[in-house]
Amino acid sequence: MQYFVKPFIRIPLYHYSQFIPSIASTLKNLSPTQLTQFHQLIQNDDEKQLKLIAYLVQKLKPGLIPYKHILLQQIRSRSIESNQDLEYAIKLIQKIQNPEFYLNEYINTIQEKRIHSCIIQINQKYPGLCKSEQLVRIQEQFPECTQELMNKMIVNRQNQPKQQIYQKIQTFTPRDIPEQHNEPEQLEKHKYITQGKIVLRFPPEPNGFLHLGHVRSIRLNFYSAEQLNGDCYLRYDDTNPANEKQIYIDQIEDNVKWFGHKPTHITYASDYFPFIFDCAIKLIKENKAFICEQNREEMKEFRRNKQPSPYRNRDMNESLRIFNEMQEGKYPESKYTLRLKIDYQHSNPTLRDPVAYRVLYTQHPKSGDKWKVYPMYDFAHCICDSLENITHSLCTLEFEIRRELYYWILSNLNLYKPFVYEFSRLNVSNNMLSKRKIGKMIEMGIVNGWDDPRLLTLAGLRKRGYTPQAINDFIDQVSVPRGGNEQIISIKLLENCIRKELDKKVPKIMAILNPILIDVEIDKNTIKQVYVQQDDVKLIDNPEFYGLSPNKQVCLRFFGVVLCEDIILENDKPKYIKVKLISTDLNDRKKLKGQINWLDKQDCIAATVNEYSYLFDTENPAEIPEFWNQINKNSLQIYDVKVPKSLEYKIGDRFQFERNGFYIVDSLKDGHIYFNKIVGLSEGEKKNLK
């Protein structure tokens, strides 16, 4: 039976029942793309294995692709014998990618016994996927796993060198598409031009400021090119002038340089507009593109229902004439579009005769009003990649569905085809990494522009006090996975990266947040005035609080033991405090748990601190339609602070305020200093009094 599968894999689905009746129903559920994958995977498999492979193809989400061949091996070794077994294997793989993975919920199931070897092989092929305690847990649940094998896995995990981000490029293995392969003469010409170098590109759209999510691409492309002695383009995808501004163009280049990268070339998609326009003309003349008059809603409805445009068979000469007249500015914006004639019934919606060009009468930041028609991103992007001889076109997973369109365009234009690979989009908890949604928050007045320090835009992170080194360290730790766009990285990992860097570099100073004045009676004739923090004072004492309370002794650090005699209130809050010096003896000072920071009134100056916390109360605001309702209303708190006046404070200087965290000088106005809080201390380092 298996001998009939391959010869007929591309015939219409209704023929399957004639040749493979036992799996006809399964194959009818596969899309053309899945049928191609099925064809690539099968060998001399029996009927049961063919059904499982077909089911596997249906379940191959992006995050499972690295495990495809392991699962296939388990099917052929009969460790996986049913769809249910396969479902359990997939669940375990998804769990094993999660740091909280444990096998509790699968204990005593027969399916788990059948597929335990699948887990073992995953760990052998991908050492480091599990923590040591998780491997021990596997051994507890599966006695078949010998101690020798478990020890080997743990040693492999411990000895596995951390793969640098640039090294990953050499291991990328995308889904195979027949159209992606170059003709020998195209490949030869490409290699001659590039001299065998790796050529990458970072292609942002200048419609907003870059955010943390873009750094993964910056790091992957620029850093990899530098390490592999290749080239990297900074190419602006300026195909939609309605949303593009010069300020965004300038900011992008500035941020790339901030990370220490120098693009080999700085280009614009608009540099290639004449060639891209000629490509559209070529496709019209070959009857592979047509002028359509459907409006947006009609086109959307027809494409969803897999119906052809009523203008699909428009005369080629008429389409050619109208397209040239569109560029001459003879028609309003919504009158015509140029669409590619691919397959309006294709299972991949991006191939259902997509739009290639539309009319826009918007001033372009680079070319002015020269062009009246603009190519869509999908049409221009692949052509630009080809013209620049990009070797690796790297983008995020939401573009994977467009890969077939990418190669269709280049194949039909007979152009060189780069290697395309998609990786997971970066999502960070309690924040938003979407230019469109950030723009919405700016418009609503939720944040104060693109450089608001609560945002994870690069401008916001710079203003907050983050460094390129800390951000790169974060990107290197999260790396370039392909596990789907749903994974959310905890913002605490980013905080830990900047905290670790600053802890080694910045000076520590004693600064007093929310200061309260204290009169320290040295003797009957001497009063010393100092400031302490408000959270070091409580009207009612408790055993776990080591700060100032009435009739309680504490130590002012490096000074002496004092007794709190009186707390004067204003509006039910402490205004100032009277204390009496008891002892300056070192032994007496050491006996007390309460060690309070303070600054002499004569030796400090007033400043202001912007204390930032998470912008959203929820971990994943992106999944909430009205995300603005989840804003943390206390994400910005403004406090008074006293800092030593003996120091010099310049914009950009960073300090650790003891017991409080790390801060940067944001601005100096009329001699007044404004600090932004970068990050607090780690839980283990916090010395705040309770």
Task: Measure CA 490 to chain center.
Answer: 11
Please state, in angstroms and rounded to a whole number, the distance separating the CA atoms of residues 127 and 153: 7
Q: 385 forms bridges with which residues in the sheet? A: none
Give the position of tokens 């450089």.
451
**What are the residue ranges of helices labelled H in 43-109?**
47-59, 68-76, 83-96
State the sign of the Cα–Cα–Cα–Cα dihedral 114, 120, 126, 130.
positive
* Alpha carbons 324 and 343: distance in angstroms, whole number: 25
Catalytic residue among 81, 87, 179, 205: 205
Angle between helices 110-125 and 68-76 (to 10 degrees): 130
- Give the whole-angstrom CA distance, residue 190 versus residue 607: 60
Q: Name the helix (H) or strand (E) containing 609.
A: strand 604-612
Query: Are 145 and 116 spatial neighbours (Cβ–Cβ below 8 Å)?
Result: yes
What would you measure as the largest C-alpha separation in the chain, in angstroms? 109
Which tokens is 308 given? 């052809």
* 105 tagged catalytic: no
Q: Has 244 been annotated as catalytic? A: no
Strand partners, 395: 422
42 vs 59: CA distance, rounded Å: 16
Q: How far apart are the first and last CA of the chain?
A: 75
Strands of 599-600's sheet, edge to edge?
Answer: 595-596, 553-556, 560-570, 573-583, 515-523, 526-533, 599-600
How many CB atoms within 10 Å of residue 291? 24
Q: Do 613 and 678 meet the contact criterion of CB atoms below 8 Å apart?
A: no
Give the three-class secondary structure for 231: strand
**Rounded to an integer, what distance in angstroms lies between the CA atom of residue 208 and that of residue 248?**
6
Residue 205 among the catalytic residues: yes
CB neighbourhood size of 239 (10 A): 23
Residues in a beta bridge with 518: 530, 577
Residue 290 β-bridge partners: 339
d(CA 534, CA 210): 39
Annotated catalytic residue within 114, 216, 403, 425: 425
Nearest to 220 by CA among 60, 422, 381: 422
Give the dihedral sign, CA 490/493/496/497: negative
What six digits make up the tokens of 572?
């039910």
DSSP assignment letter at 180 = G
Determine the distance from the C-alpha atom of residue 263 to the mean position of all C-alpha atoms in its chain, rounded to a whole number.
22
Catalytic residue among 216, 235, 358, 435: 435
325, containing H or E segment: helix 316-327
Active-site residue list: 205, 425, 435
